[in-house]
Structures are given as structure tokens and as C-alpha cells.
Amino acid sequence: MDARERHLRLLTETIEAVNSTLDLQEVLALVATKVPDALATDACFVYLYDERAGELVLRATHGTPIDELSRRPRMRPGEGITGSAAAARAPVMLESAAHLDPRFKNFPNLPEDEYQSILAVPILTRDGTLEGALNVRTRDPRSFSEDEVELLLAIAAQVAQSIEHAKLYAEAQRRVNELEALARISEAVQDSLYLEESLEAIVKTTMEALGATGAALVLDDGSIAWPEGVAAAYAIRQPLRWRGRQIGELVADRDTQFFDGDRELLASIATHAAVALEHGRAVLRGVLAQEIHHRVKNNLQTVASLLRLQARSEEAIDPREALEHSVNRILAIAAVHELLTERREEDVQLADLIDRLRSMLVQGVGGGKAVTASLAEVSLSGARATALALVFAELLQNALEHGGDAITVELVRRDGDVVLAIADDGPGLLGAAAGTGLSIVRALVRDELRGSLSLGEGRGARAEVVFPA
């Protein structure tokens, strides 16, 4: 019982340490440090599974500093002893002379042959998805007990969940950084009347966002429009495209490898860079498009503010759910831009906007619920329509997730005001009035629409937004 109590205490301590951060590298480093303490081993190696490459990549160690390795060890599931544990989805234990086992994979820069014993386990999510693998080693021969194997498996299972949450957090942070970078670019482009100033802002923002040592914009004639910093060992290039043709290229350099998230961010920046380049050329030709850039800037800043509000919320929320809510808010703003582009008008028809958002949310969140709508003809300016789109998306999403099976949407004019009402036949608000989503709605209704929000309960829940037409 003493050993079991000790293992339970060590498991609890390790889980608390791993759950103390959402930074993926910190999670892995804590695992590599805490697991040897829990099992009294000399070393621990933590591998993360790269699904795109189909490889296990060494990301954290205890006993051999990973930053001293000239090349990060990689192996496919089934290769090496740890890879065999990952492929079999089961622990592998060798009591002595582990480096003589036929499955042993030698890495010239990883001195694993100095260890005698090894216990390797896969890192699996609850549904069996492979997130990585880890092993512990001792310099002296050792047989791990059944309880110790179970302890390491329990730790690995918790680590898998922590890795999932850390990945979601990293993705959310990446999106925040991306939106902030794009907002800075849009602001610089909108404020500048000169092409050189716009290009300088794009290149410098690219360096900041990617942690690059250098960046440059190359025009379609091969000339370098704006170089900044210095070249390095690794480089990525992203074409600038405008209306189906390539008008240039955005290049970034740095001393470390670029990953998929970096490429996605560069692609987003390149899209705005292409717009900025054509905008600057249009300025030189005497054609200005300031209103478009002003609208893009304001909406990107709105999205960034919403993401910051979500990140600072003290309510307990699943990271995946938070990310999905943020995506729906971005899509709501995109729907306003889409209508403005299609109609080529300054005002948005709310019936069209609400109908598009309703279809999008029912398809993504609806779960088979019936949503009926009665929509009057009402038009709003682009800025106010954006605020209403966000309000409607939050209220309908709340009804779809927490309300009954029958949901009604009503848009009417009443005594010089516009009334938007969403009702359902469910159990009521169930505390949702205190959530981050309703806080966003109240702020938008008060500050952007200059109206009021009322929440009522009877045979379900009803949210009503009233604002001047």
C-alpha cells in the first residue's frame, strides 16, 4: 500500500505540474523533468508525433540537453524501441542491454547506449489517437514493476490530453498573432499614401510575426522593392497574387526551420501584401481605396479584441469550443463583407445577412434543430451591420447549443426602431446570461447599435435586441 500511495501522490504531482501551463514546449519539458522524479530513473525522452511527416520527433529530454543536439532525432512508429511502443500502442520494457536489442535505433548525437534499461510507452488520447511516445531509462539494469508501468501509462494518458489542449491554445494564439499582424498591415496601408511606406510596414511586420532575421518583397519584374534584415539558413517564399496573376513574392529568412503555422501566417500576410501593393500602384495612378482598407482595419481590430476578451475570460471553457466560437465570429464579419462586395452598395440588407448566418450556424452547430425566420426589409450601414452580425451569431449559437428543438428568428420594425428577437422552447437561459458571449452581445448592442438587450424566460428563452433604425 505504501508503494501504491507513493505512486498516486507522484501521479497527482506530475499531472498538476503538466496542467499548470498551456504552452506545448513547457508541457513537454515538465514531463521530461517530472517523470524521472516519479520513477527514480536517470533519463527521460519525450517524442511528439508529427502527423504530416508520420514521424516521432524528440521534443524534450532529461539527462541529455536537447539544445546541444546538432540534429533533432526522428523515427517512424515501428522504428526503434520507443517507436515500437508507439506502433503497438502498448508499453515495451527491457531490463538490461537495451542497446543490443534488434529494435534499437542508434542516433549518433543521442548517447542512449549508455543506459541499460528502458521502459517506453505510447502517448494516446482517449480515442486512441497517437500524440507521441516517451521512455525512461536507467544506467543500471532494472526491472520495472507492474505498478510502475501502470503509473507511466497513466501519466502518458494525462499528457496526451495536455498536449491536445496545448495545441488548441497554440492555434488560438497563432490566430491572435495573425490577426494582429494583419491589422497592423491594414492600418499602415490605410494611413499611407506612398507605396514605399506600405511595403516597409509589410516587411517589418512579417519579420516581427515570424521572428525572422530578414524579409523582402520581390516584384513581378524581379526587382527587390524592400529588403530588411539579413538572410539566414532557412527561407520560405510566398507568391503575391492579384486577380489570378502573380504580381510579386514575399520572402522571409531565419536561423530555425519554418513550420506549417508559419507558412499559413505568411500566406495570410502575402494576401494583404498583394492588396497593399495594388493599392499603392493605384495611388500612383490617382485611384484611392481608403474606405475598403478602413473597413478591413476596423473589422480585424474588432476580431482581435473579441479574441482577447475570450482569452481573458475567467469562466471555464473548453479550448476547442472557444476556438469554434471565434471562427463563427470571424465568419459573421466575412458575411457582411461578402454582401457588400456582391451588392456593391454601402448598406447591407439584414434579411439576406441573417439568412446567410442562419444557414451557416445551423449547418455547423444545429444538430438537426428547426430554425424558422420572419424577416422584414431593413438595411444598415456596413459598420452597424457588422455589429448586428456578431450579435445575431452569438444569440443564435447560444440557442442552438443550449435551447430547445424549435427556434424562431424575427426581424421587424417597431415605432422607428428595429427589433431582432431569437426565441426557443428549451429550458431557459441556464446561467448563460453571465457568459462571455452575452458580455460581447451587450457591449455591441450598447456601443455600436446604441440599443438595448432584454432576456426573457417563459416557455423557453427569448432574447430581444432593440435599436434605432
CB 393 within 8 A of CB 437: no
For 139-173, b where at least 16 C-beta lie within 10 A, e where not — what string? eeebebeeebeebbebbbbbbbbbbbbbbbbbebe
Domain boundary at 115, 150, 166, which?
166
258 occurs within a structural domain:
no
143 lies in a domain?
yes
- What average pLDDT score do residues 372-401 get? 83
Helix H or strand E encompassing 420: strand 417-424
Checking if the pLDDT of 414 tops 70, the result is yes
Per-residue pLDDT reduced to its tens digit, 432-443? 555 667 777 888
* Domain-embedded: residue 374: yes
For the question of whether the overall pTM of this predicted structure is more than 0.85, the answer is no
What letter represents residue 37's amino acid? D
Q: Is residue 335 part of a domain?
A: no
**Is 314 a member of any domain?**
no
- CATH classification at residue 439: 3.30.565.10
The values of phi and psi at residue 413, to 5°, are -100, 140
Helix or strand or coil: residue 96? coil
Pairwise CA distance, residues 372 & 234, whole Å: 54
Residues 108-147 pLDDT 10s: 767 777 889 999 999 998 888 898 999 999 999 999 888 8
Question: What average pLDDT does the segment 103-111 reach?
Answer: 79
Residue 37 lies in a domain: yes
Q: Please say which residue of 151, 166, 181 terminates a domain.
A: 166
The predicted pLDDT at position 251 comes to 92
235-256 mean pLDDT: 89
* Domain of 462, in residue numbers: 348-469
Classify 214 as helix, strand or coil. strand
Query: What 8-state DSSP symbol labels residue 316?
Result: -
Q: What proportions of the chain, in percent to the nearest 5, are helix, strand and coil?
A: 50, 25, 25
Q: Final residue of a domain: which of 116, 136, 166?
A: 166
Residue 203 lies in a domain: no
Residue 313 Cα distances to 169, 262, 307, 396, angstroms: 14, 27, 10, 21
The amino acid occupying position 133 is A
**CATH number of the domain that residue 65 is part of:** 3.30.450.40
Give a yes or no: residue 294 inside a domain.
no
Looking at the DSSP bridge assignments, the partners of residue 467 are 418
pLDDT value at 271 more than 70: yes
Count of domains observed in the chain: 2
